[in-house]
Each structure stands twice: as structure tokens, then as C-alpha cells.
């Protein structure tokens, strides 16, 4: 079981598919610094791990980790909120109702989401897409 493996798996899937769905939109991750260019649309991907619990009874050592993926969508005010909603649609299409295998065993299931429109913030239309996940893995000792 590795939260790093879970994060890398979801991050890679999102990165590859978002680059095809929205090739002109800049994509950042929580460990990247962003240069402020007020003329570009951009998204920020963050995986938020939650609780990990034993998922079986016996000797298998199966565990379930719950968490969420948060994608912040930022659009310059001049572009209009409709552009942001189109990007939100692309994010949901990638993340909703997915089962992604984890290298080395296990799987990640992405399911429900919520979208928050933060309105106009410092010249940016700001949307947040939060998609919940569960990851089933095993501990090898």
C-alpha cells in the first residue's frame, strides 16, 4: 500500500487525458510554482489522501484508502465563466466513474463529485472540482 502510488496513478491518468481534452490549458500540480500570467487559463491538480482502514478479515492485509482529487480551474475574468464551465466538464469526464489499476496490484475507484463556483476572485473566475476516490491495496511484508 502506498499513498505515493495512488497519487502517481491518478495524477498520470489525469495529466495524460487532460492534455488531450484541453491541449491549450496550462496544468499545474501542488508542488509546482506558477508564474502569474493573467492572460492564460490554468488548472491545479491536488490529491488529498484521507483515512486508510483494513478492508478484510484474515491474512490478506487488504486496505482501503479514501480521499479526494481536487482540480482548481482558473479563468481570466475577460474569458467569461462559460469557458470555465467547459473545462469543468472536461475534468469531470476524465475523473467520474473510473476504475484505474494501480501498478503492483490494487485499484482506484473515482466516483461522485462536487463543483463549486467561487465567483470572480482577484480578476479570475474560479471553479473547484472535487472528486472522491477509494483505493484498494495490499501491504506486502
Query: What confidence tens digit (pLDDT) does each residue in 23-61 have?
Result: 999 999 988 877 766 678 999 999 999 998 888 777 778
Type and span of the H or E element at 90:
helix 81-95
**Domains (range + CATH), the chain:** 3-138 (3.30.2000.20)
Q: How far apart are CA 30 and CA 115, in angstroms?
A: 19
Q: For residue 11, count CB atoms less than 10 angstroms from its CB and return exposed for 0-12, middle for 13-18, buried for 19 or more.
A: middle
Phi, psi of 116 (to 5 degrees): -120, 130
Query: What confidence tens digit (pLDDT) does each residue in 60-90 have?
Result: 788 899 999 999 999 998 887 888 999 999 9
Query: What confidence tens digit (pLDDT) does each residue in 93-136 have?
Result: 999 999 999 877 789 999 989 999 988 888 889 999 999 999 99
> Angle of helix 81-95 relative to helix 3-21, nearest 10 degrees?
130
Amino acid at each position: 500500500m502506498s499513498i505515493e502510488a495512488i497519487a502517481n496513478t491518478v495524477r498520470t491518468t489525469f495529466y495524460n487525458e487532460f492534455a488531450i481534452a484541453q491541449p491549450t490549458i496550462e496544468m499545474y500540480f501542488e508542488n509546482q510554482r506558477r508564474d502569474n500570467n493573467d492572460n492564460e487559463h490554468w488548472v491545479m491538480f491536488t490529491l488529498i489522501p484521507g483515512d486508510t482502514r483494513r478492508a478484510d478479515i484474515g491474512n490478506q492485509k487488504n486496505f482501503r484508502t479514501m480521499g479526494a482529487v481536487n482540480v482548481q480551474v482558473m479563468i481570466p475574468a475577460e474569458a467569461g465563466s462559460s469557458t470555465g464551465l467547459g473545462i469543468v466538464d472536461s475534468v469531470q469526464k476524465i475523473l467520474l466513474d473510473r476504475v484505474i489499476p494501480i501498478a503492483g496490484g490494487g485499484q482506484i475507484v473515482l466516483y461522485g463529485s462536487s463543483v463549486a463556483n467561487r465567483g470572480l476572485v482577484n480578476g479570475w473566475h474560479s471553479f473547484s472540482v472535487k472528486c472522491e476516490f477509494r483505493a484498494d491495496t495490499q501491504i506486502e511484508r
